[in-house]
Structure 1
Amino acid sequence: MSKSPKVLSVLGMPVHVMTNYPGWLLERLQQGRGTHVITLNAEMTIQAERNGSLAQVIQNAELVIPDGAGVVLYLRWLLWQKVQRCPGIELAEKLLRELGQKQTGAKVFFYGGAPEVAAKAAEFCQQQISGLNIVGTHSGYHSQEEEEKLRQTLTQSQPQLIFVGLGVPRQELWIAQNRHLCPQAVWIGVGGSFDIWSGTKNRAPAWLGNNNLEWLYRLYQEPWRWRRMLALPEFAVKAFVYHLTARSVMS
């Protein structure tokens, strides 16, 4: 069994640090140990300060990965931890590749995105990865009646890996409210990953991601996000103050 991840804290939110997230999750998937994966970034951390329900979901999640540059830099510069960023989309892709290679037959489900986006994303993934068993997809735009049908589908099909792309905090709250439908599944909030896989949007060039500037490319693609991006400087200030306060209390 893989070693349990090390648990650190960023503004009171847990972050689990380890070297092999996909391997750890695959073990849990094979063992039928239900898992909620949170992809934590600066924006979500700030939202959690204002949204008690989101904060509680993050605290209760079995795995919280350092997805955003702000979270990683906090851990490196303020806590002196050797931490590598783990983008949620890359973790999701690695899991899919591993399942395809191992040909375990594990059932996968895509939920979220605009109409047809999840279906196109699933088609793309199945073309890229042989042996992948995607048993269903569902748009994130639907009526309450259709949502009830979605719940029935999940209950009947019991997928073991479920990607939910509804955006933050909706996807995190939805998973927490519905994970009992498939208690042995690994659930991951994947944000806009379906848009990337379906070709609806492009991911930032690797050199931007490697320099912790992926957020800049996202802002370029979606200028309307500028209000949400205000969370980044707010996170930086609060992180510095939080760290100084913690040090003064300890000394």
Structure 2
Amino acid sequence: MDLIRTDCSDGRRCTVLGVPVHACRNPLAVALELHDRGGGQIVTLNAEMTMSACSQRALGAVIAHADLVIPDGAGVVWALARQGVRVRRTPGIELADALLRYAAGHHWRVALIGASPEVMDRLRQTLQTSMPGMDLVLAVHGYQEPETWSALQRQLQGIRPDLVLVALGVPRQELWIAEARRGCTGLWMGVGGSFDVWSGSKRRAPAWMARVNLEWLYRLVQEPARWRRMLVLPRFAWAVLRRGAR
């Protein structure tokens, strides 16, 4: 099968187990183009989220309507390669970091939502030091009372940030973004545990482990309770192989 190579201008829309994902050579360029067109929701797709989207109708609908879905996990990249679509893995934490740095250099208004109060406090201080030009218009931890979230949505609609990063975990962050961004511009992206890493509360896997697609193992060693979540990986691989056989 001929390999399909893509560039930043086409944003080819593919599917893995029926879940959409965009194959593009430069996701950052595509995200910036999306911002120029008024913004939208960015989703970082891995094998675990793919399986969740197959079984959870609400999450599947959000991903189907997202404006940019990047291949965050090695399993998704592998599944695309089986279709003849060659793309590089784009870790969500790296795309989010690149967007933050672009925002700091281009006077974007940035909002951060999620993580614990302690992590958010450290993150504010870290960003003030590492990206002094950033216009951080809102930084709110994720341990809010239920009635607070609707007020937060209204606040974001008034602020109209250029970039909103949300760290509430999957699928909560994707579902909340889809609801909160209605009528708003800017880029909205779920970033999972990125705030913990940026604040220094947790460490990311060494670069060599990322190169050989073993970041999942490093996280498992850091958080042994994740082992149950890892059981989805062989189910994902088997589902991809079965679909390919059919």
Q: Give the TM-score band, short-chain normalised.
A: over 0.9
Q: Does the residue aligned with 1:171 lie in a helix, a strand or coil?
A: helix
Q: Which residue of 1 aligns with 2:51?
A: 46
Q: Is the 8 A contact 1:113 1:195 kept in 2?
A: yes
Q: What TM-score comes out, normalization by structure 1 length? A: 0.91
For 1:35 and 1:122, how far apart are their aligned partners in 2? Answer: 25
User: 2:32 corresponds to which letter in structure 1?
Assistant: L
Q: Does the residue aligned with 2:147 lie in a helix, a strand or coil?
A: helix
1:131-189 deviations in Å (ceiling 9; x for gaps): 211111111111123223322321221111000101011111111111115x2111000
Q: Is the 8 A contact 2:103 2:109 kept in 1?
A: no
For 1:7 and 1:135, how far apart are their aligned partners in 2? Answer: 33
Write the mapping of 1:115-194 to structure 2, written as runs, cut at 5 A: 115-180=117-182, 183-194=184-195
1:89 aligns with one of 89, 93, 107: 93
For 1:82 and 1:8, how far apart are their aligned partners in 2? Answer: 11
Moved more, 110-119 or 86-95: 110-119
Q: Does the residue aligned with 2:164 lie in a helix, a strand or coil?
A: strand
Displacement after TM superposition at 1:4 (Å): 3.1
Moved more, 39-48 or 110-119: 110-119
For 1:85 and 1:10, how far apart are their aligned partners in 2? Answer: 14
Q: Is the 8 A contact 1:138 1:150 kept in 2?
A: no
Displacement after TM superposition at 1:120 (Å): 2.2
- Answer yes or no: is 1:36 the counterpart of 2:41: yes
Displacement after TM superposition at 1:20 (Å): 1.6
Q: Which residue of 2 aligns with 1:248?
A: none
Q: Is the 8 A contact 2:115 2:143 kept in 1?
A: yes
1:66 aligns with one of 68, 71, 89: 71
RMSD (Å), alpha carbons:
1.4
Displacement after TM superposition at 1:30 (Å): 3.2
Q: Is the 8 A contact 1:119 1:138 kept in 2?
A: no
User: 1:136 corresponds to which letter in structure 2?
Assistant: L
Q: Which runs of no fewer than 5 residues in structure 1 stay unpaired?
A: 246-251
Displacement after TM superposition at 1:118 (Å): 2.5
Q: Kindly indicate which of the two structures has a greater share of residues assigned to helix.
A: 1
Q: Is the 8 A contact 1:135 1:159 kept in 2?
A: yes
Q: Which runs of no fewer than 5 residues in structure 2 stay unpaired?
A: 1-7
What fraction of aligned residue pairs are identical, expressed as a percent?
Answer: 46
1:204-228 deviations in Å (ceiling 9; x for gaps): 1111111011100111011001111
Q: Is the 8 A contact 1:110 1:122 kept in 2?
A: no
1:74-98 deviations in Å (ceiling 9; x for gaps): 112x112221000000001111112
Displacement after TM superposition at 1:56 (Å): 0.7
User: 2:95 corresponds to which letter in structure 1?
Assistant: L
For 1:63 and 1:188, how far apart are their aligned partners in 2? Answer: 10
Q: What TM-score comes out, normalization by structure 2 length? A: 0.93
- Answer yes or no: is 1:24 the counterpart of 2:30: yes
Q: Is the 8 A contact 2:19 2:54 kept in 1?
A: no
- Answer yes or no: is 1:12 the counterpart of 2:18: yes
